[in-house]
Chains A and B, each alone.
Chain A
Protein backbone atom coordinates (compact mmCIF):
# COMPACT_ATOMS: atom_id res chain seq x y z
CA UNK A 1 0.00 0.00 0.00
CA UNK A 2 2.83 2.38 0.90
CA UNK A 3 4.45 1.66 -2.45
CA UNK A 4 1.20 2.42 -4.24
CA UNK A 5 0.82 5.73 -2.36
CA UNK A 6 4.38 6.62 -3.22
CA UNK A 7 3.78 5.88 -6.91
CA UNK A 8 0.64 8.03 -6.91
CA UNK A 9 2.56 10.88 -5.27
CA UNK A 10 5.33 10.61 -7.87
CA UNK A 11 2.74 10.77 -10.62
CA UNK A 12 1.17 13.85 -9.04
CA UNK A 13 4.58 15.54 -8.85
CA UNK A 14 5.32 14.66 -12.49
CA UNK A 15 1.95 16.06 -13.51
CA UNK A 16 2.73 19.31 -11.64
CA UNK A 17 6.02 19.71 -13.45
CA UNK A 18 4.38 19.03 -16.81
CA UNK A 19 1.81 21.72 -16.00
CA UNK A 20 4.51 24.25 -15.14
CA UNK A 21 6.20 23.51 -18.47
CA UNK A 22 2.88 24.08 -20.23
CA UNK A 23 2.41 27.35 -18.31
CA UNK A 24 5.89 28.36 -19.47
CA UNK A 25 4.69 27.69 -23.00
CA UNK A 26 1.83 30.14 -22.45
CA UNK A 27 -1.04 27.82 -21.55
CA UNK A 28 -3.64 29.55 -19.37
CA UNK A 29 -5.47 26.21 -19.09
CA UNK A 30 -2.41 24.67 -17.48
CA UNK A 31 -2.28 27.56 -15.01
CA UNK A 32 -5.95 26.90 -14.20
CA UNK A 33 -5.12 23.21 -13.62
CA UNK A 34 -2.27 24.16 -11.29
CA UNK A 35 -4.68 26.45 -9.47
CA UNK A 36 -7.16 23.60 -9.01
CA UNK A 37 -4.44 21.37 -7.60
CA UNK A 38 -2.79 23.87 -5.24
CA UNK A 39 -5.05 26.84 -4.49
CA UNK A 40 -6.11 25.13 -1.24
CA UNK A 41 -2.63 25.09 0.28
CA UNK A 42 -1.81 28.55 -1.11
CA UNK A 43 -5.00 30.08 0.31
CA UNK A 44 -4.66 28.14 3.58
CA UNK A 45 -1.10 29.31 4.16
CA UNK A 46 -1.87 32.87 3.04
CA UNK A 47 -4.77 33.07 5.51
CA UNK A 48 -2.62 31.61 8.28
CA UNK A 49 -0.15 34.47 7.71
CA UNK A 50 -2.27 37.51 6.82
CA UNK A 51 -5.39 36.38 8.74
CA UNK A 52 -7.85 38.53 6.76
CA UNK A 53 -9.54 36.49 3.99
CA UNK A 54 -9.58 39.45 1.58
CA UNK A 55 -5.82 39.85 1.98
CA UNK A 56 -5.36 36.11 1.50
CA UNK A 57 -7.25 36.34 -1.79
CA UNK A 58 -4.87 39.05 -2.95
CA UNK A 59 -1.93 36.84 -2.02
CA UNK A 60 -3.39 33.97 -4.09
CA UNK A 61 -3.61 36.31 -7.07
CA UNK A 62 -0.04 37.53 -6.53
CA UNK A 63 1.26 33.97 -6.32
CA UNK A 64 -0.36 32.72 -9.52
CA UNK A 65 0.68 35.87 -11.37
CA UNK A 66 4.24 35.14 -10.30
CA UNK A 67 3.96 31.49 -11.37
CA UNK A 68 2.86 32.73 -14.79
CA UNK A 69 5.83 35.07 -15.04
CA UNK A 70 8.48 32.76 -13.61
CA UNK A 71 7.40 29.42 -15.09
CA UNK A 72 9.91 29.73 -17.97
CA UNK A 73 12.67 29.65 -15.35
CA UNK A 74 11.40 26.51 -13.66
CA UNK A 75 13.69 23.60 -14.42
CA UNK A 76 13.22 21.33 -11.40
CA UNK A 77 13.81 17.70 -12.25
CA UNK A 78 12.88 16.47 -8.83
CA UNK A 79 11.96 19.58 -6.88
CA UNK A 80 8.31 19.89 -6.07
CA UNK A 81 6.10 22.54 -7.57
CA UNK A 82 4.20 22.53 -4.28
CA UNK A 83 7.37 23.54 -2.42
CA UNK A 84 7.93 26.44 -4.79
CA UNK A 85 4.32 27.59 -4.42
CA UNK A 86 4.61 27.48 -0.64
CA UNK A 87 7.76 29.62 -0.76
CA UNK A 88 6.12 32.15 -3.07
CA UNK A 89 3.04 32.26 -0.87
CA UNK A 90 5.01 32.93 2.27
CA UNK A 91 7.03 35.72 0.61
CA UNK A 92 3.96 37.46 -0.80
CA UNK A 93 1.95 37.05 2.41
CA UNK A 94 4.74 38.40 4.65
CA UNK A 95 5.03 41.38 2.28
CA UNK A 96 1.36 42.09 2.83
CA UNK A 97 1.60 41.61 6.56
CA UNK A 98 4.53 44.01 6.84
CA UNK A 99 2.78 46.53 4.62
CA UNK A 100 -0.22 46.41 6.91
CA UNK A 101 1.92 46.79 10.03
CA UNK A 102 3.55 49.83 8.46
CA UNK A 103 0.13 51.24 7.52
CA UNK A 104 -2.22 50.91 10.46
CA UNK A 105 -4.70 53.19 8.62
CA UNK A 106 -5.48 50.35 6.29
CA UNK A 107 -7.34 48.66 9.13
CA UNK A 108 -9.79 51.54 8.96
CA UNK A 109 -10.65 50.70 5.40
CA UNK A 110 -8.43 53.04 3.44
CA UNK A 111 -7.39 51.76 0.06
CA UNK A 112 -3.73 50.84 -0.27
CA UNK A 113 -1.74 53.48 -2.10
CA UNK A 114 -0.88 52.74 -5.69
CA UNK A 115 2.57 54.10 -4.94
CA UNK A 116 3.33 51.06 -2.81
CA UNK A 117 3.60 48.14 -5.19
CA UNK A 118 3.73 44.97 -3.14
CA UNK A 119 6.46 43.10 -4.82
CA UNK A 120 9.71 42.18 -3.24
CA UNK A 121 11.22 38.89 -2.22
CA UNK A 122 11.16 36.54 -5.16
CA UNK A 123 12.11 33.02 -4.17
CA UNK A 124 13.48 31.73 -7.42
CA UNK A 125 12.13 28.43 -8.73
CA UNK A 126 15.52 26.73 -8.23
CA UNK A 127 15.44 27.52 -4.50
CA UNK A 128 12.72 24.91 -4.02
CA UNK A 129 14.83 21.78 -4.06
CA UNK A 130 12.82 19.41 -1.90
CA UNK A 131 10.63 16.71 -3.35
CA UNK A 132 6.94 16.78 -2.49
CA UNK A 133 7.55 13.89 -0.10
CA UNK A 134 10.35 15.78 1.69
CA UNK A 135 8.18 18.89 1.99
CA UNK A 136 5.47 16.77 3.57
CA UNK A 137 7.94 15.13 5.97
CA UNK A 138 9.44 18.44 7.09
CA UNK A 139 5.89 19.72 7.65
CA UNK A 140 4.97 16.76 9.84
CA UNK A 141 8.20 17.03 11.86
CA UNK A 142 7.49 20.75 12.36
CA UNK A 143 4.06 19.89 13.75
CA UNK A 144 5.63 17.59 16.34
CA UNK A 145 8.42 19.91 17.53
CA UNK A 146 8.35 20.68 21.26
CA UNK A 147 6.00 23.62 21.91
CA UNK A 148 8.68 26.15 22.93
CA UNK A 149 10.54 25.55 19.66
CA UNK A 150 7.48 25.31 17.42
CA UNK A 151 5.92 28.52 18.74
CA UNK A 152 9.08 30.60 18.31
CA UNK A 153 9.86 29.21 14.86
CA UNK A 154 6.22 29.80 13.94
CA UNK A 155 6.52 33.48 14.90
CA UNK A 156 9.51 33.82 12.58
CA UNK A 157 7.95 31.91 9.70
CA UNK A 158 4.28 32.85 9.87
CA UNK A 159 4.64 36.40 11.18
CA UNK A 160 7.97 37.34 9.65
CA UNK A 161 9.38 38.49 13.00
CA UNK A 162 13.10 38.82 13.69
CA UNK A 163 14.86 37.34 16.72
CA UNK A 164 14.58 40.55 18.72
CA UNK A 165 10.96 41.11 17.75
CA UNK A 166 10.14 37.59 18.90
CA UNK A 167 11.94 38.19 22.19
CA UNK A 168 9.99 41.42 22.71
CA UNK A 169 6.69 39.77 21.79
CA UNK A 170 7.11 36.69 23.99
CA UNK A 171 9.32 37.87 26.84
CA UNK A 172 11.66 34.94 26.13
CA UNK A 173 15.32 36.06 26.47
CA UNK A 174 16.94 36.86 23.10
CA UNK A 175 19.64 34.20 23.47
CA UNK A 176 17.02 31.55 24.19
CA UNK A 177 15.00 32.64 21.15
CA UNK A 178 18.05 32.23 18.92
CA UNK A 179 19.00 28.83 20.36
CA UNK A 180 15.51 27.37 20.14
CA UNK A 181 14.94 28.52 16.58
CA UNK A 182 18.32 27.19 15.51
CA UNK A 183 17.66 23.82 17.19
CA UNK A 184 14.25 23.62 15.55
CA UNK A 185 15.64 24.38 12.09
CA UNK A 186 18.41 21.84 12.63
CA UNK A 187 15.83 19.18 13.54
CA UNK A 188 13.90 19.95 10.35
CA UNK A 189 17.06 19.79 8.30
CA UNK A 190 17.94 16.38 9.75
CA UNK A 191 14.64 15.09 8.39
CA UNK A 192 16.24 15.40 4.96
CA UNK A 193 19.32 13.40 5.92
CA UNK A 194 17.26 10.24 6.33
CA UNK A 195 15.20 10.87 3.22
CA UNK A 196 16.55 9.23 0.09
Chain B
Protein backbone atom coordinates (compact mmCIF):
# COMPACT_ATOMS: atom_id res chain seq x y z
CA UNK B 1 0.00 0.00 0.00
CA UNK B 2 1.34 3.36 -0.99
CA UNK B 3 0.35 6.18 1.27
CA UNK B 4 0.24 9.78 0.24
CA UNK B 5 0.83 12.93 2.27
CA UNK B 6 0.33 16.45 1.02
CA UNK B 7 2.84 19.17 1.64
CA UNK B 8 2.14 22.86 2.15
CA UNK B 9 0.94 24.55 -1.07
CA UNK B 10 3.17 27.39 -2.27
CA UNK B 11 1.53 30.35 -3.96
CA UNK B 12 3.37 32.68 -6.28
CA UNK B 13 2.89 34.85 -9.27
CA UNK B 14 3.35 33.48 -12.74
CA UNK B 15 6.51 34.37 -14.63
CA UNK B 16 6.05 32.99 -18.09
CA UNK B 17 9.35 33.72 -19.74
CA UNK B 18 12.69 35.41 -19.44
CA UNK B 19 13.99 37.59 -22.25
CA UNK B 20 16.84 39.89 -23.00
CA UNK B 21 15.40 43.37 -23.61
CA UNK B 22 17.88 44.91 -26.00
CA UNK B 23 16.32 48.36 -25.77
CA UNK B 24 16.90 48.40 -22.00
CA UNK B 25 20.05 46.30 -21.96
CA UNK B 26 18.58 44.03 -19.32
CA UNK B 27 17.16 40.62 -18.65
CA UNK B 28 13.49 40.91 -17.82
CA UNK B 29 10.82 38.43 -16.85
CA UNK B 30 7.55 38.16 -18.68
CA UNK B 31 4.89 38.49 -16.06
CA UNK B 32 1.54 36.73 -16.36
CA UNK B 33 0.62 34.65 -19.31
CA UNK B 34 0.25 35.28 -23.04
CA UNK B 35 -2.87 37.36 -23.41
CA UNK B 36 -2.35 38.97 -20.03
CA UNK B 37 1.36 39.48 -19.91
CA UNK B 38 3.83 42.29 -19.63
CA UNK B 39 7.54 42.73 -19.20
CA UNK B 40 8.55 42.95 -15.61
CA UNK B 41 11.32 45.08 -14.29
CA UNK B 42 14.90 44.14 -14.95
CA UNK B 43 16.49 41.39 -12.96
CA UNK B 44 19.91 42.24 -14.39
CA UNK B 45 20.81 45.33 -16.31
CA UNK B 46 23.77 47.11 -17.79
CA UNK B 47 24.22 44.51 -20.50
CA UNK B 48 25.16 44.98 -24.10
CA UNK B 49 23.86 41.57 -24.98
CA UNK B 50 22.81 38.36 -23.37
CA UNK B 51 22.28 34.95 -24.91
CA UNK B 52 20.03 32.89 -22.67
CA UNK B 53 20.08 29.16 -22.66
CA UNK B 54 17.01 27.39 -24.02
CA UNK B 55 15.97 26.41 -20.50
CA UNK B 56 16.43 30.02 -19.40
CA UNK B 57 18.63 29.02 -16.53
CA UNK B 58 21.88 30.37 -17.87
CA UNK B 59 22.99 33.43 -19.69
CA UNK B 60 26.07 34.46 -21.61
CA UNK B 61 26.35 38.10 -20.60
CA UNK B 62 28.21 40.85 -22.38
CA UNK B 63 28.61 44.25 -20.81
CA UNK B 64 29.57 46.00 -24.04
CA UNK B 65 27.19 46.64 -26.87
CA UNK B 66 30.00 46.03 -29.32
CA UNK B 67 31.00 42.42 -29.26
CA UNK B 68 34.68 41.83 -29.66
CA UNK B 69 37.21 39.65 -27.97
CA UNK B 70 38.26 42.34 -25.54
CA UNK B 71 34.72 42.83 -24.27
CA UNK B 72 34.20 41.31 -20.86
CA UNK B 73 31.84 38.38 -21.27
CA UNK B 74 30.85 35.96 -18.62
CA UNK B 75 28.48 33.19 -17.81
CA UNK B 76 25.95 33.56 -15.04
CA UNK B 77 22.88 31.89 -13.71
CA UNK B 78 19.71 33.78 -14.42
CA UNK B 79 18.72 33.13 -10.85
CA UNK B 80 21.82 35.01 -9.72
CA UNK B 81 22.81 37.09 -12.70
CA UNK B 82 25.25 39.17 -10.72
CA UNK B 83 27.26 36.12 -9.74
CA UNK B 84 29.73 35.31 -12.47
CA UNK B 85 30.26 31.63 -12.84
CA UNK B 86 33.09 32.01 -15.26
CA UNK B 87 34.63 34.66 -17.42
CA UNK B 88 34.62 33.92 -21.09
CA UNK B 89 37.77 34.53 -23.15
CA UNK B 90 36.15 35.49 -26.42
CA UNK B 91 32.84 36.60 -27.56
CA UNK B 92 31.44 37.53 -30.88
CA UNK B 93 28.52 35.22 -31.13
CA UNK B 94 27.30 32.23 -29.17
CA UNK B 95 25.13 29.23 -29.70
CA UNK B 96 23.60 26.93 -27.11
CA UNK B 97 22.83 23.31 -27.58
CA UNK B 98 19.24 22.23 -27.22
CA UNK B 99 19.43 20.90 -23.67
CA UNK B 100 21.35 23.90 -22.34
CA UNK B 101 24.31 21.77 -21.37
CA UNK B 102 26.89 23.31 -23.67
CA UNK B 103 27.53 26.40 -25.67
CA UNK B 104 30.05 27.50 -28.21
CA UNK B 105 31.66 30.91 -28.61
CA UNK B 106 33.08 32.36 -31.77
CA UNK B 107 35.83 34.94 -31.62
CA UNK B 108 35.43 38.31 -33.25
CA UNK B 109 38.04 37.38 -35.79
CA UNK B 110 36.13 34.23 -36.64
CA UNK B 111 39.24 32.16 -36.22
CA UNK B 112 38.67 30.65 -32.78
CA UNK B 113 35.87 28.55 -31.35
CA UNK B 114 35.61 27.75 -27.67
CA UNK B 115 33.15 25.27 -26.20
CA UNK B 116 31.95 25.20 -22.64
CA UNK B 117 30.05 22.37 -21.02
CA UNK B 118 28.20 21.86 -17.80
CA UNK B 119 29.35 18.84 -15.90
CA UNK B 120 27.19 19.30 -12.88
CA UNK B 121 24.77 21.90 -11.69
CA UNK B 122 26.64 25.17 -11.80
CA UNK B 123 29.90 23.53 -12.70
CA UNK B 124 30.91 24.87 -16.09
CA UNK B 125 34.21 24.24 -17.75
CA UNK B 126 35.85 24.91 -21.03
CA UNK B 127 35.70 21.75 -23.08
CA UNK B 128 37.82 22.75 -25.98
CA UNK B 129 39.27 25.63 -27.92
CA UNK B 130 40.19 25.28 -31.53
CA UNK B 131 41.77 27.60 -34.04
CA UNK B 132 39.95 27.49 -37.33
CA UNK B 133 41.81 28.14 -40.54
CA UNK B 134 41.89 30.20 -42.60
CA UNK B 135 41.65 33.03 -40.15
CA UNK B 136 40.52 35.80 -42.46
CA UNK B 137 37.08 34.38 -43.17
CA UNK B 138 34.02 35.42 -41.22
CA UNK B 139 32.04 32.56 -39.85
CA UNK B 140 28.63 31.99 -38.41
CA UNK B 141 27.88 29.42 -35.74
CA UNK B 142 24.83 27.41 -36.60
CA UNK B 143 24.48 24.73 -33.94
CA UNK B 144 26.21 22.64 -31.34
CA UNK B 145 25.14 19.14 -30.59
CA UNK B 146 23.76 17.95 -27.32
CA UNK B 147 27.06 16.56 -26.20
CA UNK B 148 29.03 19.62 -27.07
CA UNK B 149 31.29 17.52 -29.24
CA UNK B 150 30.28 18.75 -32.63
CA UNK B 151 29.81 22.27 -33.92
CA UNK B 152 28.26 23.32 -37.15
CA UNK B 153 29.18 26.55 -38.78
CA UNK B 154 29.31 28.22 -42.12
CA UNK B 155 31.05 31.17 -43.62
CA UNK B 156 29.44 34.56 -43.84
CA UNK B 157 29.65 36.27 -47.18
CA UNK B 158 28.95 39.91 -47.73
CA UNK B 159 27.74 39.24 -51.24
CA UNK B 160 24.07 38.61 -51.87
CA UNK B 161 23.36 35.17 -53.23
CA UNK B 162 26.84 33.94 -52.41
CA UNK B 163 26.72 30.35 -51.20
CA UNK B 164 29.10 29.01 -48.60
CA UNK B 165 30.03 25.55 -47.45
CA UNK B 166 28.57 23.90 -44.41
CA UNK B 167 31.34 23.09 -41.98
CA UNK B 168 31.42 20.52 -39.18
CA UNK B 169 33.91 20.74 -36.39
CA UNK B 170 34.37 17.71 -34.18
CA UNK B 171 36.48 17.67 -31.06
CA UNK B 172 37.61 14.16 -31.61
CA UNK B 173 39.91 15.06 -34.42
CA UNK B 174 39.99 18.79 -33.76
CA UNK B 175 39.54 19.53 -37.42
CA UNK B 176 36.83 21.28 -39.32
CA UNK B 177 35.50 19.23 -42.21
CA UNK B 178 33.28 20.43 -45.00
CA UNK B 179 30.02 18.66 -45.58
CA UNK B 180 29.07 18.35 -49.19
CA UNK B 181 26.33 20.91 -48.91
CA UNK B 182 26.80 24.53 -49.88
CA UNK B 183 24.23 27.23 -49.56
CA UNK B 184 23.20 30.26 -47.58
CA UNK B 185 22.52 28.72 -44.22
CA UNK B 186 20.54 30.74 -41.74
CA UNK B 187 19.59 28.40 -38.90
CA UNK B 188 20.03 24.84 -37.71
CA UNK B 189 18.84 22.69 -34.83
CA UNK B 190 18.97 19.11 -33.73
CA UNK B 191 16.01 16.85 -33.49
CA UNK B 192 15.52 13.74 -31.50
CA UNK B 193 15.48 10.86 -33.91
CA UNK B 194 15.59 7.20 -33.27
CA UNK B 195 18.32 6.62 -35.79
CA UNK B 196 20.78 8.90 -34.05
CA UNK B 197 21.92 12.55 -34.10
CA UNK B 198 19.91 14.43 -36.71
CA UNK B 199 19.78 18.12 -37.65
CA UNK B 200 17.55 20.30 -39.75
CA UNK B 201 19.21 23.11 -41.68
CA UNK B 202 17.58 26.08 -43.45
CA UNK B 203 19.15 26.93 -46.81
CA UNK B 204 18.07 30.34 -47.95
CA UNK B 205 19.73 29.98 -51.35
CA UNK B 206 17.49 27.07 -52.32
CA UNK B 207 14.47 27.68 -50.08
CA UNK B 208 14.97 24.22 -48.64
CA UNK B 209 15.26 22.54 -45.30
CA UNK B 210 17.96 19.94 -45.36
CA UNK B 211 18.18 17.01 -42.99
CA UNK B 212 21.59 15.80 -41.84
CA UNK B 213 22.06 12.46 -40.16
CA UNK B 214 25.18 11.29 -38.49
CA UNK B 215 26.06 7.76 -39.41
CA UNK B 216 27.55 6.71 -36.14
CA UNK B 217 29.29 3.66 -37.47
CA UNK B 218 31.41 5.63 -39.89
CA UNK B 219 31.20 9.12 -38.52
CA UNK B 220 29.96 10.32 -41.90
CA UNK B 221 27.08 12.67 -42.38
CA UNK B 222 24.27 11.86 -44.76
CA UNK B 223 22.08 14.63 -46.12
CA UNK B 224 18.70 14.60 -47.74
CA UNK B 225 16.05 17.11 -48.62
CA UNK B 226 13.11 17.55 -46.28
CA UNK B 227 10.39 17.60 -48.88
CA UNK B 228 7.66 19.09 -46.72
CA UNK B 229 9.69 22.26 -46.31
CA UNK B 230 9.49 23.22 -49.98
CA UNK B 231 6.71 25.74 -49.83
CA UNK B 232 7.61 28.52 -52.20
CA UNK B 233 9.74 28.98 -55.23
CA UNK B 234 12.38 31.65 -55.12
CA UNK B 235 10.04 33.85 -57.14
CA UNK B 236 7.30 33.78 -54.54
CA UNK B 237 8.97 33.52 -51.21
CA UNK B 238 12.21 33.38 -49.30
CA UNK B 239 13.02 30.93 -46.55
CA UNK B 240 14.30 32.89 -43.58
CA UNK B 241 14.83 30.28 -40.90
CA UNK B 242 13.83 26.96 -39.46
CA UNK B 243 13.07 26.29 -35.79
CA UNK B 244 11.89 23.39 -33.68
CA UNK B 245 8.31 23.27 -32.53
CA UNK B 246 7.02 22.05 -29.20
CA UNK B 247 5.69 18.73 -30.36
CA UNK B 248 8.28 17.12 -32.56
CA UNK B 249 7.41 19.19 -35.57
CA UNK B 250 9.25 22.21 -36.85
CA UNK B 251 8.55 25.69 -38.18
CA UNK B 252 9.81 27.61 -41.13
CA UNK B 253 9.74 31.38 -41.44
CA UNK B 254 9.14 32.98 -44.84
CA UNK B 255 9.16 36.28 -46.57
CA UNK B 256 6.44 36.31 -49.23
CA UNK B 257 6.95 38.47 -52.31
CA UNK B 258 4.14 40.90 -53.14
CA UNK B 259 1.96 40.22 -56.14
CA UNK B 260 2.59 43.65 -57.60
CA UNK B 261 5.74 45.69 -57.74
CA UNK B 262 4.50 48.41 -55.40
CA UNK B 263 3.09 46.01 -52.87
CA UNK B 264 4.60 45.25 -49.50
CA UNK B 265 5.89 41.76 -48.68
CA UNK B 266 4.17 39.62 -46.09
CA UNK B 267 5.65 37.13 -43.68
CA UNK B 268 4.47 33.70 -42.73
CA UNK B 269 5.28 31.06 -40.21
CA UNK B 270 4.52 27.57 -41.42
CA UNK B 271 4.30 24.56 -39.19
CA UNK B 272 5.42 21.30 -40.66
CA UNK B 273 3.62 18.87 -38.45
CA UNK B 274 5.00 15.39 -38.03
CA UNK B 275 7.33 15.99 -40.92
CA UNK B 276 4.80 14.48 -43.26
CA UNK B 277 3.65 17.54 -45.06
CA UNK B 278 0.75 18.54 -42.83
CA UNK B 279 0.94 22.26 -42.46
CA UNK B 280 -0.56 25.21 -40.66
CA UNK B 281 0.48 28.81 -40.90
CA UNK B 282 0.45 32.20 -39.24
CA UNK B 283 0.65 35.46 -41.13
CA UNK B 284 2.78 38.26 -39.72
CA UNK B 285 3.35 41.85 -40.78
CA UNK B 286 7.08 41.76 -40.19
CA UNK B 287 9.75 39.07 -40.34
CA UNK B 288 10.28 36.70 -37.46
CA UNK B 289 14.02 36.87 -37.00
CA UNK B 290 14.19 34.41 -34.19
CA UNK B 291 11.88 31.57 -33.24
CA UNK B 292 12.44 29.64 -30.05
CA UNK B 293 10.44 27.54 -27.70
CA UNK B 294 9.43 28.78 -24.29
CA UNK B 295 10.54 26.01 -21.96
CA UNK B 296 7.81 24.10 -20.24
CA UNK B 297 5.07 25.50 -22.42
CA UNK B 298 3.51 24.92 -25.79
CA UNK B 299 4.33 28.46 -26.78
CA UNK B 300 6.92 29.66 -29.22
CA UNK B 301 8.67 32.97 -28.81
CA UNK B 302 9.13 35.33 -31.76
CA UNK B 303 11.59 38.13 -31.46
CA UNK B 304 10.74 40.11 -34.53
CA UNK B 305 12.96 43.10 -34.24
CA UNK B 306 16.36 42.64 -32.72
CA UNK B 307 16.81 46.37 -32.13
CA UNK B 308 13.57 47.01 -30.23
CA UNK B 309 13.15 43.57 -28.78
CA UNK B 310 9.51 43.38 -29.74
CA UNK B 311 8.23 39.99 -28.70
CA UNK B 312 5.33 37.87 -29.82
CA UNK B 313 4.20 34.52 -28.56
CA UNK B 314 2.11 32.02 -30.31
CA UNK B 315 0.62 28.85 -29.12
CA UNK B 316 2.04 25.82 -30.82
CA UNK B 317 -1.29 24.12 -30.60
CA UNK B 318 -4.25 23.83 -32.86
CA UNK B 319 -5.37 27.42 -32.32
CA UNK B 320 -2.06 28.97 -33.36
CA UNK B 321 -3.19 32.05 -31.45
CA UNK B 322 -0.76 34.93 -31.63
CA UNK B 323 -0.14 37.22 -28.66
CA UNK B 324 1.76 40.44 -28.37
CA UNK B 325 3.59 41.68 -25.33
CA UNK B 326 2.92 45.31 -24.47
CA UNK B 327 5.93 47.36 -25.23
CA UNK B 328 6.26 49.54 -22.19
CA UNK B 329 6.95 48.55 -18.66
CA UNK B 330 4.08 49.13 -16.31
CA UNK B 331 5.04 50.57 -12.99
CA UNK B 332 4.46 47.48 -10.94
CA UNK B 333 7.40 47.51 -8.63
CA UNK B 334 8.04 43.88 -9.41
CA UNK B 335 11.57 42.65 -9.77
CA UNK B 336 14.92 43.66 -8.43
The answer to whether A and B come from one shared complex is no
A contacts, CB < 8 Å to B: none
